[in-house]
Amino acid sequence: MKLSVAYQGGARYDILSDRHRVVTDQPVEDGGADAGMSPVELFVGSVASCVGYFVGNFCARHDISRDGLKVEAEWTMAEQPHRVGQIHLSIRLPHRITPELKERLLKVAHGCTVHQSVVVPVRVAIELNPHT
């Protein structure tokens, strides 16, 4: 699996995959043009959207309507090193479910791929000009 990130000027970088483009930028107060989400917003959004996808699939399997399903995310930053320190997700499901289904739904939410990629440390290798 591959994607690339291309500089577009200012503080904007576009993430390119085979079929999609996602614009990232910084807020104006941080030197950007605010043309897209910041990478941190995109990171938190990736966790939240993955949880939403897993919860939505759970709902579909259990004949629970996904209408009105929403995942809200809040986060705080931490230092040394500078990073997202905590993410709090609130799953909003406007339909009542049994306590047993609630427990199972939360277990499924915790199992989402992006969440697990944060919980179990991912190895990141960074190199400069690898093919020159």
pLDDT at position 113, please?
A: 97
Provide the pairing of β-strand 12-16 with 4-9.
Answer: antiparallel
Residue-wise pLDDT for 56-93, tens only, equals: 999 999 999 999 999 999 999 999 999 999 999 999 99
Per-domain residue ranges for the chain? Answer: 1-36, 38-122
pLDDT at position 130, please?
A: 82
Residue-wise pLDDT for 9-37, tens only, equals: 999 999 999 999 999 999 999 999 999 99
Architecture of domain 38-122: 2-Layer Sandwich (3.30)
For residues 102 and 105, give the distance between their C-alpha atoms in angstroms, rounded to a whole number: 5
Residue-wise pLDDT for 93-107, tens only, equals: 998 999 999 999 999
